[in-house]
Amino acid sequence: MRRSARFARLFPDEELASIFELDPSRLKAAGKRGIIFDLDNTLGPRGAQELDGAVLELLDRLRAKGLLIGILSNDEGLTRGGLRAGLEGYPIYFDARKPRRQGFRQLLREMALKPEEAVMVGDNLFTDIWGAKRLGLYAILVSPFDPREPFHIRLVRLAARMILSLRRLLV
Ligand SMILES: [Mg+2]
Protein backbone atom coordinates (compact mmCIF):
# COMPACT_ATOMS: atom_id res chain seq x y z
CA MET A 1 0.00 0.00 0.00
CA ARG A 2 1.31 3.43 -0.86
CA ARG A 3 2.20 5.54 2.12
CA SER A 4 -0.36 8.16 1.12
CA ALA A 5 -3.16 5.59 0.94
CA ARG A 6 -2.28 4.21 4.36
CA PHE A 7 -2.28 7.62 6.02
CA ALA A 8 -5.42 8.73 4.20
CA ARG A 9 -7.34 6.34 6.45
CA LEU A 10 -6.56 8.53 9.44
CA PHE A 11 -8.13 11.66 8.07
CA PRO A 12 -11.68 12.90 7.49
CA ASP A 13 -12.91 13.12 3.92
CA GLU A 14 -14.39 16.53 4.70
CA GLU A 15 -14.43 19.09 7.48
CA LEU A 16 -17.53 21.19 8.08
CA ALA A 17 -18.22 23.95 10.58
CA SER A 18 -21.47 22.28 11.65
CA ILE A 19 -24.07 19.65 10.87
CA PHE A 20 -26.17 22.39 9.27
CA GLU A 21 -23.72 22.52 6.36
CA LEU A 22 -24.45 18.93 5.30
CA ASP A 23 -25.68 18.73 1.72
CA PRO A 24 -27.96 15.70 1.33
CA SER A 25 -28.24 16.03 -2.45
CA ARG A 26 -24.49 15.88 -2.89
CA LEU A 27 -24.14 12.91 -0.53
CA LYS A 28 -26.85 11.03 -2.38
CA ALA A 29 -25.26 11.84 -5.73
CA ALA A 30 -22.08 10.22 -4.35
CA GLY A 31 -24.01 7.01 -3.65
CA LYS A 32 -24.59 7.53 0.07
CA ARG A 33 -27.83 6.20 1.53
CA GLY A 34 -27.47 6.98 5.21
CA ILE A 35 -25.78 9.13 7.84
CA ILE A 36 -24.54 8.00 11.24
CA PHE A 37 -24.19 10.87 13.68
CA ASP A 38 -22.13 11.06 16.82
CA LEU A 39 -24.24 12.51 19.66
CA ASP A 40 -22.29 14.60 22.16
CA ASN A 41 -20.89 17.82 20.76
CA THR A 42 -22.07 16.86 17.28
CA LEU A 43 -25.90 16.97 17.57
CA GLY A 44 -25.88 18.96 20.80
CA PRO A 45 -23.75 20.00 23.77
CA ARG A 46 -22.10 17.22 25.76
CA GLY A 47 -24.59 15.43 28.00
CA ALA A 48 -27.64 17.21 26.59
CA GLN A 49 -30.96 15.82 27.77
CA GLU A 50 -32.78 17.02 24.69
CA LEU A 51 -31.77 18.25 21.29
CA ASP A 52 -32.43 21.66 19.87
CA GLY A 53 -35.58 21.96 17.74
CA ALA A 54 -33.43 23.08 14.81
CA VAL A 55 -31.35 19.89 15.09
CA LEU A 56 -34.43 17.66 15.17
CA GLU A 57 -35.74 19.53 12.13
CA LEU A 58 -32.47 18.95 10.33
CA LEU A 59 -32.65 15.21 11.02
CA ASP A 60 -36.23 15.12 9.75
CA ARG A 61 -35.23 17.09 6.67
CA LEU A 62 -32.36 14.72 5.88
CA ARG A 63 -34.68 11.77 6.31
CA ALA A 64 -37.29 13.39 4.06
CA LYS A 65 -34.56 13.67 1.41
CA GLY A 66 -34.32 9.89 1.52
CA LEU A 67 -31.32 9.38 3.80
CA LEU A 68 -31.40 6.87 6.66
CA ILE A 69 -30.34 8.40 9.96
CA GLY A 70 -28.70 6.65 12.92
CA ILE A 71 -26.87 7.76 16.07
CA LEU A 72 -23.75 6.14 17.56
CA SER A 73 -22.53 7.39 20.93
CA ASN A 74 -19.73 6.37 23.28
CA ASP A 75 -21.76 7.70 26.20
CA GLU A 76 -23.25 4.94 28.31
CA GLY A 77 -26.67 6.50 27.84
CA LEU A 78 -27.76 5.72 31.40
CA THR A 79 -29.14 9.21 32.01
CA ARG A 80 -30.32 9.91 28.47
CA GLY A 81 -33.88 8.60 28.63
CA GLY A 82 -35.42 11.96 27.74
CA LEU A 83 -33.12 12.41 24.81
CA ARG A 84 -33.92 8.92 23.59
CA ALA A 85 -37.65 9.70 23.70
CA GLY A 86 -37.12 12.84 21.60
CA LEU A 87 -35.32 10.78 18.96
CA GLU A 88 -37.93 8.11 18.62
CA GLY A 89 -37.82 6.61 15.15
CA TYR A 90 -34.05 6.93 14.80
CA PRO A 91 -31.84 3.96 15.70
CA ILE A 92 -29.53 5.05 18.52
CA TYR A 93 -26.67 3.03 20.02
CA PHE A 94 -24.98 4.01 23.26
CA ASP A 95 -21.72 2.64 24.73
CA ALA A 96 -20.46 2.15 21.17
CA ARG A 97 -16.74 2.13 22.07
CA LYS A 98 -15.71 4.00 18.96
CA PRO A 99 -13.14 3.74 17.36
CA ARG A 100 -13.77 0.01 17.69
CA ARG A 101 -15.62 -1.38 14.72
CA GLN A 102 -18.23 -3.46 16.49
CA GLY A 103 -20.67 -0.63 17.23
CA PHE A 104 -20.43 0.72 13.69
CA ARG A 105 -21.09 -2.77 12.32
CA GLN A 106 -24.15 -3.29 14.54
CA LEU A 107 -25.72 0.01 13.59
CA LEU A 108 -24.96 -0.48 9.89
CA ARG A 109 -26.63 -3.87 10.06
CA GLU A 110 -29.70 -2.41 11.75
CA MET A 111 -29.89 0.32 9.10
CA ALA A 112 -29.26 -2.24 6.32
CA LEU A 113 -26.35 -0.19 4.98
CA LYS A 114 -23.03 -1.27 3.58
CA PRO A 115 -20.05 0.73 4.94
CA GLU A 116 -19.48 2.40 1.58
CA GLU A 117 -23.11 3.60 1.54
CA ALA A 118 -22.78 5.33 4.90
CA VAL A 119 -21.44 8.68 6.07
CA MET A 120 -20.14 9.22 9.61
CA VAL A 121 -20.48 12.72 11.04
CA GLY A 122 -18.70 13.51 14.30
CA ASP A 123 -16.61 16.02 16.22
CA ASN A 124 -13.87 13.65 17.41
CA LEU A 125 -10.97 12.62 15.19
CA PHE A 126 -9.84 9.77 17.46
CA THR A 127 -13.20 8.03 17.85
CA ASP A 128 -15.72 9.08 15.17
CA ILE A 129 -13.39 9.62 12.24
CA TRP A 130 -10.78 6.92 12.81
CA GLY A 131 -13.41 4.33 13.64
CA ALA A 132 -15.41 5.18 10.54
CA LYS A 133 -12.40 5.19 8.24
CA ARG A 134 -11.26 1.79 9.55
CA LEU A 135 -14.50 0.34 8.20
CA GLY A 136 -14.52 2.31 4.96
CA LEU A 137 -17.23 4.85 5.74
CA TYR A 138 -17.09 8.36 4.32
CA ALA A 139 -16.19 10.56 7.31
CA ILE A 140 -17.05 14.19 7.98
CA LEU A 141 -15.46 16.01 10.90
CA VAL A 142 -17.55 18.84 12.32
CA SER A 143 -16.53 21.55 14.78
CA PRO A 144 -17.76 20.90 18.33
CA PHE A 145 -21.36 21.98 18.95
CA ASP A 146 -20.39 23.80 22.13
CA PRO A 147 -16.89 25.32 22.09
CA ARG A 148 -16.85 25.75 25.88
CA GLU A 149 -15.17 22.52 26.90
CA PRO A 150 -13.17 21.29 29.87
CA PHE A 151 -9.39 21.56 29.70
CA HIS A 152 -8.65 17.89 29.04
CA ILE A 153 -11.04 17.84 26.07
CA ARG A 154 -9.37 20.95 24.69
CA LEU A 155 -6.04 19.13 24.88
CA VAL A 156 -7.51 16.27 22.84
CA ARG A 157 -8.72 18.81 20.27
CA LEU A 158 -5.29 20.39 20.14
CA ALA A 159 -3.74 16.98 19.44
CA ALA A 160 -6.31 16.40 16.71
CA ARG A 161 -5.54 19.77 15.11
CA MET A 162 -1.81 18.98 15.16
CA ILE A 163 -2.42 15.65 13.44
CA LEU A 164 -4.69 17.26 10.87
CA SER A 165 -2.04 19.86 10.11
CA LEU A 166 0.43 17.02 9.43
CA ARG A 167 -1.88 15.78 6.71
CA ARG A 168 -0.21 17.88 4.03
CA LEU A 169 3.08 16.11 4.77
CA LEU A 170 1.67 12.58 4.89
CA VAL A 171 -1.00 12.30 2.24
MG1 LIG B 1 -18.69 13.76 20.18
Domain CATH for 147: 3.40.50.1000
Question: Structural domain tally of the chain?
Answer: 1
What is the distance between the alpha carbons of residues 145 and 123, in angstroms, rounded to a whole number? 8
Domain presence at residue 114: yes
pTM for the full model? 0.91
Closest CA to 117 of 34, 59, 38: 34
Confidence band for 130, pLDDT divided at 50, 70 and 90: very high
* Ligand 1 centroid, distance to 124 Cα (angstroms): 6
Range of 24's domain?
16-170
* Ligand 1 centroid, distance to 168 Cα (angstroms): 25
Domain presence at residue 2: no
Domain presence at residue 4: no
* Ligand 1 centroid, distance to 1 Cα (angstroms): 31
pLDDT digits (tens, 9 = 90+) for 62-114: 999 999 999 999 999 998 988 988 898 899 999 999 999 999 999 999 999 99
pLDDT digits (tens, 9 = 90+) for 6-35: 677 779 999 999 999 999 999 999 999 999
Domain presence at residue 6: no
Report the pLDDT value the prediction gives residue 111, as an integer from 0 to 100: 97
Domain presence at residue 164: yes
What is the distance between the alpha carbons of residues 146 and 33, in angstroms, rounded to a whole number? 28
* Ligand 1 centroid, distance to 85 Cα (angstroms): 20
Sheet holding 14-16, edge to edge: 14-16, 138-142, 118-122, 34-37, 68-72, 92-93
Residue bearing the bigger pLDDT, 133 or 166: 133
Report the pLDDT value the prediction gives residue 39, as an integer from 0 to 100: 97
Q: Over 90: is that where the pLDDT of 147 sits?
A: no
Closest CA to 39 of 60, 59, 65, 62: 59
Report the pLDDT value the prediction gives residue 8, as an integer from 0 to 100: 74
Closest CA to 125 of 158, 169, 170: 158
Domain presence at residue 7: no
